[in-house]
Structure 1
Amino acid sequence: MISRGHLSYPAYLQLATLKLAKGRTPEELGLRRWKITDHSAVLGHGEDVYRAAAERLHTWQVHAHAKVRARRRGNLVRLHFGPTTSSCLIIREEQTPTRTVMVYGTLPAHVESGEEAFIISLAPDGTVTGRVIAFSRHAWWLAKLLGPVARAMQRWANRRYVAGMRPGNFP
């Protein structure tokens, strides 16, 4: 069984993405040397939109929209993008009537080292917002070599993840 101790980043940073989402700064969290990506967008309005967006996240349609194939077994997820396969461990999942969250951390076989959080929220006025926030460092030699290209791909994927939360967007 894989545990949180197997993550490819320090234990003190676990769930730091959720703290960033609540307004803590990278400096406060010890993330000065990590790259932060944060993308959010309004997905629509109302409980039906919220439920549909949460369903898209739970069924990996969000990832499919970014051309990432996800295979889950328990809390272990293998992500396939192009020629790469990366492993993650889901370390937090929660769903309330107004918020859905999934956070996964990278395992040593991932092209990056870090954590990514997917957050869907329903505001009191009915606005539904999708957000992906991450901190990472390149772990794979090719990602390190092609740093700016790898970082641009990560930003592209995060925008696609959020767009994939929007009901009506299909892979």
Structure 2
Amino acid sequence: MSYPESLHGTSEDLLIGNAKASKGWQITDRKLVLGYGEECFQIAVQQLFSWKAHQYAGITVTQTNTTVELKFWSIRSYCRVLKSHQGSRRAILIYGTLEKHVERGEEAFEITMADNDQVTAHIVAFSKPAKWWAKLANPVVRWVQLRITDKYLEGLKS
């Protein structure tokens, strides 16, 4: 992993509000109501675990066991899946960055179906630039990161 071991699992804590940003780390926290009902939940879960939400955002994904290659334009970044679970009303996918990633950190994707059958997607991440050019162009890289996150959310509805 390309970020401190003491931060492993922090993204799941961020999902439930039990963590705060560590100094120097950028936090992404986005939610979107996807719709209502079991069919909506199942579609969102399928979009998440098949990587179609990532594809919707323009990311090509290749997975080998727990290692995931994310390709955006000609930039390749690598992650490790840390958690992948689907229950009857909650699904979660978490991955952390490996050394060949543009950023350092973790990203968590959660899909929940509330008691009123409302289906919500929640994405949180903590990150900081890893590559020199990402540090130099951090405002642009951050804008792209937030735009991609919003596209992930939209892709969960497709």
Q: TM-score interval w.r.t. the shorter chain? A: over 0.9
SS of residue in 1 equivalent to 2:6: helix
Structure 2 length as normaliser, TM-score?
Answer: 0.98
Give the counterpart of 2:101 among 98, 110, 113: 110
The 1-side partners of 2:147 and 2:55 are apart by 13
SS of residue in 2 equivalent to 1:89: strand
Give the conservation status (yes or no) of the 8 Å contact 1:18–1:117.
yes
CA RMSD of aligned residues (A): 0.8
The 2-side partners of 1:129 and 1:90 are apart by 22
Give the conservation status (yes or no) of the 8 Å contact 2:10–2:19.
no
| Aligned equivalent of 2:120 | 129
The 1-side partners of 2:24 and 2:7 are apart by 12
Give the number of aligned pairs.
158
| Aligned equivalent of 1:93 | 84
Shift of 1:142: 1.2
Shift of 1:12: 1.2
Gaps of 5+ in 2: none
Structure 1 length as normaliser, TM-score?
Answer: 0.90
The 1-side partners of 2:138 and 2:6 are apart by 25
Superposition pairs for residues 46-57 of structure 1, below 5 Å?
A: 46-57=37-48
Give the conservation status (yes or no) of the 8 Å contact 2:47–2:53.
yes
Gaps of 5+ in 1: 1-6
The 2-side partners of 1:14 and 1:122 are apart by 26
Structure 1: 4+ residue segments shifted above 3 A: none
- Percent identical pairs in the alignment equals 36
The 2-side partners of 1:130 and 1:108 are apart by 28
The 2-side partners of 1:92 and 1:11 are apart by 15
The 1-side partners of 2:133 and 2:11 are apart by 25
1:7-61 per-position Cα deviation (integer Å, ceiling 9, x unaligned): 001111111011011112425xxx1220000111000000110011000111110
1:115-153 per-position Cα deviation (integer Å, ceiling 9, x unaligned): 000110000100000111000000011111101000000
The 2-side partners of 1:115 and 1:8 are apart by 10
Superposition pairs for residues 136-155 of structure 1, below 5 Å?
A: 136-155=127-146
SS of residue in 2 equivalent to 1:155: helix
